[in-house]
Every structure is written in C-alpha cells, then in structure tokens.
Structure 1
Amino acid sequence: MKELTIEQLADAYEDYFSVEHGISINAKPIAGALPTAGELVAAIPPPFLLASDVNSLNGSALRSLNRLGELADELANYLQQQARKIDLLLHYVLKQQDNPSERFTTQSYSGSGCCYLANAPLAPLQTLELKLFLANNDGAVFCYGQVVSCESVAEKWQIKVVLSRIRDEDRELIVRASLHQQSRLLKQKAEQRQQT
C-alpha cells in the first residue's frame, strides 16, 4: 500500500462520525515507514487479541440465544453477568498495557482517528504506535496511526491522528464504542432538559 499524502490523510480523518469524549490512549512515535498489515498483527500484544476474541464470542453467543425466545431470557441474563465479569478482568489486564509516560486523553475519537493535546509537537506524517482504551469496558485497540495535523493551542499541541493501520474488527469496535458514547451523551442531554 502506498504512503498517503497529508491531504489524503485529512480526508480519511473525516471518514467516520467523531464523538467528543475523553478516552485514555498511549501514543508512541516510532521511526521509519508505516508498518505493514502483517507487521501490525505480529506487534499486537496478546491481551489486545484476547479482548477482541472475547468480544466477538460474547456477541455471537448472545445472538444465538435470541432465537430460543422467552425461555432463554434468564439464561441470557446469566450469561451477560458472566460476560461482564470477564470484561472486568480483561479491563484490568488491558490497563497493565497502559504506559503512563505515553498516556494522553482524547478530545475526540472516531473509527478514522483521534485528537488529543500533548506538551510537544509532532511532525505531520509521523507514525505512532497507538493503544486506545475505550470507555465503559468497551475494549481496547492496538493500531498504528499517522499525524495529520499539529496545531498550537493554549501552550499545548493539538494533535490529530488518522488510524492508518488497524484491523477491521478493531475499527468496528471503535465505531460501536463511539456510537454508544453518542447515545449516552444524547440521553444525558434529554434528562437535563427534562429537569429544567
């Protein structure tokens, strides 16, 4: 796959709906060209692969129960509780992958990229190793990104990153998490309007 220009990256950054929400990320600049898809898969830490597998298994197990009708409600509830326990354990294991020296909080994120504030600037097209820790135990993603822009904002640097090398299932996970967060924000706004 050929390297993209800044203009192409800027277009790619707009491919998905973005939600303004802070999630914890690790962003580590790496030297050299953007790793290949094969290099990405080889570099993904085992806890991230495990979390991805567990998420897909949970979804398929609950979908198959839906076909059983009313009798499956209690079983589905029990399985959801067990899945929740596993999610909590995985969340703990994934947090061990969080490096405080590389930690930032996003201003916004989407299936195509994220935006965060940093103390130092990064050059456009700089390749980053990214770990995104999604909110509400929605999972975590390991991928590679490229800096699309870096602008000075109130003595910090606002860095926009395109998720350039990411597995399809991980992008879907980020999209689902952003949609869930958008739903939560809309619900909060509706509740606030009702209270006033």
Structure 2
Amino acid sequence: MIPDSNSYFSVPHHFNVYLTSWDANQALPTDDELRDMQSVGLKLLTEVKSLEANCLLQLRNLDNDAKAVVDFLKLQSRKVDLVLQHVLEKEVQDGELFKGDQFGGSGISIISSRPLVVNEHVKTHIYLHTELVALLCLCQIQSCTPVSTDDATETAYWRCELEFSQILEDDIEQLVKASLNVQQKMLKKRKQNIDKQRS
C-alpha cells in the first residue's frame, strides 16, 4: 500500500537509478516477493540499517553520559554502511542506468536522453550514494517532459517523473529521512552563503 502521493515533499539531489521494464501482464509483487527480488548485498544493507535504527532508538533513552557511546556507535554504523554500499556498487547492476535529480517519499525524478513510456511500470534500483541509501522498488512512469536548453546544438533530454507503485515501508522511511537530511544540508549551505555575503 502506497501512502497518499501528496504526503511527502521532494528534494533536488543527484543519484543513480537502474530501470528494467516490468511485464504489463504480470501482477505487481507483494512485499514478500519484493524482498525476494533483492540481491544479497541489498538484503544485508537493509537488515543492518534496521538493526542500527532499533539499537540507536533504545540508546536515546539513556542519560547524557551515554552520548559519547551513541556518537561512537553512529560512527561505527556509518563505516559498516559505507563498506556495504561499496559492495553493492560492485555488484552487476540489473537494468539501464539513468541519472536521478530529485527524490522523496512518493517518487523520483530522472533525466533521460529519450522519452519513456508513460504509465509503464518499471523495476527500479535507487542508489543515493551520499545518503547511504540503496533500495529496490516498482515505479510507474507518470510523465516525461522535454527539457529545453539555451544551446541549440545540445542534445534534447527529458525529465521523467516516477511514482512508487510498490515499495517497502522501511524504504519509504529511509527516503523520507534522507530527504530531510538533504534539505537540512541545503539550508545550512544557504545560510553559510548569506553569512559570507554579509561579511
């Protein structure tokens, strides 16, 4: 079940996406079938992230003296995430590579050198390298709009909007957290730029 598509905001961000056409005669996978479709590396990353989240949640309830321990564990978990992401990136990728330019809890936006088939379902691997997020889901192509450029000699390209049609709840949570993190970084950068201009 996909939550209301208007309930999440999207943030601009560059990332890799691999798309594979989904047979229109085949039903969309259930949550369990989607989990079975994940590679070993993806399953491992998902499991580790889930364990980390539960552990850090329990540690937050400890007193202030535990802050150093929590910070140390966060550092350790980040190291594990980086190693797992590196392993994932070395796996043979299924599908055609596209560049993503926006994401959120409801869907993604990608750049394509050709228009994609609107309403088609695609198996989608999303890799947000800087946010240490990797996931597999099913998306439906909602629209493909040609992007005009100032340079007439430049090849035309399309911005395609993809909406999640089957995605695990944990993965939506990961994307929402990542989008908030990206937004926070953008606001911090903007504030630094304003401070520089003032000084």
Match of 2:87 in 1: 93
Match of 2:127 in 1: 133
* 1:36 pairs with one of 12, 29, 33: 29
Match of 1:66 in 2: 60
1:25 is aligned to 2:17? yes
Match of 1:157 in 2: 158
Identity %: 27
**Structure 1 residues 15 and 73, CA gap change in structure 2 (3 angstroms):** closer
* CA apart distance, 1:42: 2.0
* CA apart distance, 1:179: 0.8
* CA apart distance, 1:69: 1.5
* CA apart distance, 1:20: 1.3
AA partner of residue 106 (structure 1):
G
Task: Map 1:1-196; keep pairs closer than 5 Å.
Answer: 13-32=5-24, 33-37=26-30, 38-97=32-91, 99=93, 102-154=96-148, 155-196=156-197
Q: Secondary structure at the match of 1:19?
A: strand
Gaps of 5+ in 2: 149-155
Are the equivalent residues in 1 in contact too, given 2:126–2:135 (CA < 8 A)? yes
Are the equivalent residues in 1 in contact too, given 2:124–2:137 (CA < 8 A)? yes
Normalising by structure 2, we get a TM-score of 0.84
Cα distance per residue 1:43-75 (max 9 Å; x no partner):
122222211111121122122223331332332
**Structure 1 residues 98 and 162, CA gap change in structure 2 (3 angstroms):** farther
Q: Distance in 2 between matches of 1:41 and 1:128?
A: 16
Q: Secondary structure at the match of 1:35?
A: coil
